[in-house]
Structure formats: structure tokens, C-alpha cells
Amino acid sequence: MRIEANRDVCVSAGMCVLNAPEVFDQDDDGVVEPLVAEVPAEHLDAVTRAVQVCPSGALRIGGE
């Protein structure tokens, strides 16, 4: 599944990095930067949590 991160609405809360540090990083301004394009199967639970707790709704996973 692909990771979609809308950097225009990200509010730099960092919850994604806290929940899935292998998949998300933040740039110098704190804006989300996905480290990979596809969700690694072993990190699906962590990424799902990150999507759920992101306060801005910037993150989505889906598609093949």
C-alpha cells in the first residue's frame, strides 16, 4: 500500500515519527517526510496508528 503524506496540511506534530520512525521523518521545519513510498508489511500496524493519531489528517495509506 502506498503512503500519501500531504505536506501542505501537516502541522509538524511529529506523531507519525513517534509511532512509525522507520517510515516517517520530519524536515528541518518539522514537516513530514515519508522515508519510503510503500508501507513495509512489518510496519503496517505502526503506520495505521500514525494515520489515526495524526492531528491534521495529512496521512493516508491505500492503493496497491
- Interface residues toward ligand SF4, by CB under 6 A: 5, 10-16, 26, 32, 54-56, 58-59
Minimum separation from the CB atom of position 43 to ligand SF4 (A) = 15
Instruction: Name the minimum Å distance from CB 64 to ligand SF4.
Output: 22
Closest separation between CB of residue 15 and ligand SF4, Å?
4
What is d(CA 64, CA 62) in angstroms, rounded to the nearest whole number? 7
Residue in 25, 26, 22 with CA at minimum distance from that of residue 44: 22
CA 53 to chain centre: 10
Rounded Cα–Cα distance for residues 40 and 34 (Å): 12
User: Of the two residues 38 and 57, which places its CB atom closer to ligand SF4 in the complex?
Assistant: 57
